[in-house]
Chain A
Amino acid sequence: MNGVRERLASRALTTVAVLIAVLWTTPTLGLLLSSFRPEAEVKTTGWWTVFGAPHLTLDNYGEVLSGAGNGSGRLAEHFVNSVVITVPSVLFPLVLAFLAAYALAWIDFRGRDALVVGVFALQVVPLQMALVPLLKLFSEGWLFLPAWHLTGPARFGQVWFAHTAFALPFGVFLLHNFLAALPRELIEAARVDGASHRTLLLRIVLPLARPALVGFAVIQFLWVWNDLLVALTLSGGTAETAPMTVRLASLAGTYGNDWQRLTAGAFVAALVPLLVFFSLGRHLARGLLAGSVKG
C-alpha cells in the first residue's frame, strides 16, 4: 500500500516537475528561435510562426558578433574582455578565501571567533553602496592609500579588485563551513605525523575541499560573467575594457529600435556559462551542499 502511494506521489511529482521545466524553458526556446529569424519577421510576428513558415538565417549572429559597418555588435571584442575580467576575478577570491577559511577553521588564535562573525556579517553590505567609495579610492586615494590612476587596459585591475572584495565574505563563509566540517581525527592524525600547515593544506585539505572549491568557483564565475553594474561603473565602458554585458546593454541602440539583436546577443553571452555549467554541473550540485549540513 505504502509502495503504491509512494510510486503515485513520485509520478505526480515528476509530471509537475516536467511541466514546470517546460513552462520555464518556453520563453528561452522562443528567444532561441527568434535569434535565427530575419529582423522583419522578429519584429512583426511571434516566434511560434516559425513552425509554419521556417525562414532561418544567421544574420543576427553575424551582425552581433563581428560586422565592420556602423552599429554592428562586435561582441567578439567584448567577449575577450569578459574572459580577461572573469578568470582573475574567480581565481583571486578562490585562493584568498580558501587560505582564509583554512586559517579560520583550523588555526587557533585570539579573536578568531569574532573575526569569523565579522567576515560573515560583511555579507550584508550591499554592493551598490560601495560603488562611489570604491571610485573615490581609485581616483583620489583614501587615508594613506594612494590613488590608482589607472587608464586603458590597466582598469581591469579595478574590476578584479572589486569582484575579489565583494566575493570574499561569501567565499570565506562557504569554504569555512565546509572545512570546519572535515573530520578532526584526520587533521590531528596528520599533525601527529608531523605535517606542517603547508603539507596539511596542499596534501589533505585541498583534495578534500575540491567540491566546495569548484562549487564556489562556478557560482563566482556566473556572477562575474553576468555582472553589469560593477563592470559599467569601474571598467570604463570603452571597447578596450568593457565586458559583453556592457555591450549587450547598448546593443539595441540609443532608441532601442534594434532589439532583435538582443536575441542573438543573449545566446552568445550565455554560451560560456552554459558550457561551464554543463561541464562542472556535477561538482556544482555537490558544492551547493557544501557546509550546509554540519557533522
Chain B
Amino acid sequence: MRFGARLALAVTTLAVTATACGAPQDSGSRSRTTVDCAPYARYGEHPGTTVTVYAENRDREADLFEETWADFADCTGIHVSYEGDGEFEARIQVRVEGGNAPDVAFFPQPGLLERFARDGRLKPASAGVAALARQGWSADWNSYATVDGTLYGTPLVANVKSFVWYSPTFFRDKGLAVPRTWSELMALTEKVAASGVKPWCAGIESAEATGWPVTDWIEDVLLRRQGTRVYDQWVAHEIPFDDPRVIDAMDTVGSLLKNDRYANGGFGPARSMASISFQEAGTPVLSGDCAMHRQASFYAGLWPDGTEIGPDKDVYAFLLPGADPASRPVLGGGVFTAAFADRPEVRAFQEYLASADFANARMRKGPFVSANRGVDPANAATPVDRLSIQLLQDPRTQFRFDGSDLMPASVGAGTFWKGAVDWIGGASTRQVAHSIERSWPGR
C-alpha cells in the first residue's frame, strides 16, 4: 500500500498545484487611463459580458486579432473570448448542431455562411451593422454575406489572389521588365525560359485541399480571357463547366504549368508540383531558380523569416496582367463575420468589426487587407498589402470572388480540386473538365 499511498499523494499535490496555477489571473486590469476610450464610446458599456468568437485564424494571426480589439474590450467591458481552429469548417457544424454555437464566427467561405443562414441559425445583421456595411463596402462585397435579400454579416478580411511574386533583383540582373499585358507576360516567360531558367514555379499540395492553387490559376485566366460576364455564368453554372471558353482558359494555364520547359522551376519537371506544398512553392524565386510564382497576397507571410518585401527588396509582386494595360481583373477571397446571437454586446462587437477603425487598427499591427472603403493604404504593414488595398479601392478594378468558394462545396471544395490534381498529373483538359461537369449536383 505504501507505493499506492505515495502515488496518490503525488497525484493530489500535482492536481492542487496545477489548479492553483491554472486559476484565471485577472488580466483585464490594464489601467483605463492608458487607453483613450473616446472612440469606443459609441459602442456603449457592457460590463461583465462575454462574446465568444470562433474562427480559422490561429497562432500569430489570432494574437494580432486579440491585440487589435483589446482596447475595445477594455473600454466596453466586453470580454472577447477567441478560439482559433484549423478544423473550423467541420467543427462549426458540430458546435452548432450541439447547441454550442459561438456568438460570432468568421466564415472563410460565403457558401458556409449561406448554409447556416438558410437553416435559420444565423441572426440577421442589426440595423447598425447594416448601415456600416453599406457605408464601408461595395454592393458586390455585401452581396456575398446576403442571403435571400437579408444581410447577415460584414466582410472582415480581403485576399487579393491575382498576384505574381517575383524577385526584383533577378528581374534587374536579367534585364526583365514587369509585364503590363498578357502578351508581355507570355513574351517574358519565353525570354526567361530561353535564358535557361524555368520561369514558373508552383506547388499544389495542401493536405485535404490539395489542388486549390490550380483552381485559382484557372479562374484567374478565365477572368482575363473571357471577362466578368462569362466568369459569373461559369460560377453560377449557367454555362457548363466544360464550356469551350473554359477549356480554352484551362489550356492556357496548361501551356504554362504543364509545360516542362516553363515549370516547375527549382523543383523539377512540371508534374512535380503535385507533391510540393503551396507554402514552400515560391522559395526558388529567392534563389533565382524560378522567376515567377502566382500566389495570393497572404503569401507575404510565408516567405522565410528575414525575407524583405518591396519594389527594390528580395521579393515583390505584380498583378497578373489583363489583356490590355488598363484592365484590372482581380480575383480574390474574403472572410465574413456573422453572428449566432443578437445580444447587445454581440451587436456592439459586430459593429466594431464592421468599422473602418477596426480595419485600420488591425493593419497597423501586421499584414492585413480589408476591402473597407475607409481603410487608409498608408496603414498597410507591407508594400503588397498597400498594393492590394489600392487595387481594391481602384474604381477600374473588376473584382471577382474566388469561384471555387462560391460553387457548391462538392465541386468547389471537391471534384474541382481533385480534377486539378489529375490534370497536373497528366490527364487531358477535356477529360478533367467533363468529369467535373458530370459531378455538378442536380445537373
Contact = CB atoms under 8 A, between A and B. Distances in A.
Q: Do A and B come from one complex?
A: yes
Contact of B301 (A236, A237, A257): A257
Interface string B88-109: 0001001101111000000000
Nearest to B11: A87
B11 A136 contact: no
Contact of A71 (B23, B50, B59, B83): B59
A227 interface: no
A250 B58 contact: yes
B324 interface: no
A88 interface: yes
B23 A153 contact: yes
Contacts of A257: 279, 301-302
A138 B100 contact: yes
B304 A151 contact: no
Interface stretch (A77-85, A166-174, A188-196): A77-85
A252 B64 CA distance: 16
A156 B54 CA distance: 19
Interface stretch (B12-20, B241-249, B261-269, B414-422): B12-20
A83 B14 contact: yes
A136 B99 contact: yes
Interface stretch (A1-9, A29-37, A114-122, A127-135): A127-135
B298 A236 contact: no
B59 A83 contact: no
B97 A132 contact: yes
A236 B59 contact: no
Interface string B248-285: 00000000000000000000000000000101100000
Main secondary structure of the interface of B (DSSP, over half): mixed
B35 to A, nearest CB: 20
B85 A250 contact: yes
A258 B63 CA distance: 15
A267 to B, nearest CB: 19
Contacts of B81: 236, 238
B50 A151 contact: yes
B366 interface: yes
B94 A152 contact: no
B98 A238 contact: no
B83 A238 contact: yes
A252 B279 CA distance: 12
Nearest to A76: B21
B4 A210 contact: yes
Interface in A128-149: 131-136, 138-140
Contact of B59 (A88, A135, A250): A250
User: A interface, how many residues as a size bin?
Assistant: 35 or more
B26 interface: no
A224 B277 CA distance: 32
Contacts, number: 109
Contacts of A80: 18, 21-22
Interface in B40-62: 50, 54, 56-62
A134 B100 CA distance: 10
B417 to A, nearest CB: 17
Interface in A241-295: 249-258
A123 interface: no
Contacts of A152: 24
Contacts of A88: 15
A226 interface: no
User: B interface, how many residues as a size bin?
Assistant: 35 or more
Contacts of B63: 70-71
Contact of B83 (A43, A91, A132, A237): A237
Given A80-B22, A87-B18, A256 B99 contact: no
A32 B217 CA distance: 39
A70 B19 contact: no
A254 B57 contact: yes
Contacts of B22: 80-81, 84, 153
Contact of A84 (B19, B61, B64, B280): B19
B94 A87 contact: no
Given A70-B60, A232-B91, A256 B279 contact: yes
Given A140-B99, A237-B85, A253 B21 contact: no
Contacts of B15: 83-84, 87-88
B87 interface: yes
Given A70-B64, A210-B4, A250-B84, A139 B18 contact: no
Contacts of A253: 58-61
A139 B101 CA distance: 10
Contacts of B305: 39-40
B280 to A, nearest CB: 8
A83 B18 CA distance: 7
A254 B301 CA distance: 10
Contacts of A91: 11
A233 B94 contact: yes
B86 A249 contact: yes
Given A232-B87, A250-B86, A255-B302, A139 B60 contact: no
B100 A71 contact: no
B26 to A, nearest CB: 13
Interface string A149-164: 0011100000000000
Contacts of B100: 135, 138-139
Contacts of B64: 70
B59 A233 contact: no
A232 B59 CA distance: 16
Interface of B: 1, 4, 11, 14-15, 18-19, 21-24, 50, 54, 56-64, 67, 81-87, 91, 94-95, 97-100, 277, 279-280, 298, 301-302, 304-305, 366
Interface of A: 39-40, 43, 70-71, 80-81, 83-84, 87-88, 91, 131-136, 138-140, 151-153, 207, 210, 232-233, 236-238, 240, 249-258
Given A71-B60, A258-B60, 8 more contacts: A70-B64, A71-B59, A80-B18, A84-B15, A87-B14, A152-B24, A240-B24, A254-B61
The 3 closest A-B pairs by CB, nearest first: A135-B98, A71-B60, A250-B58
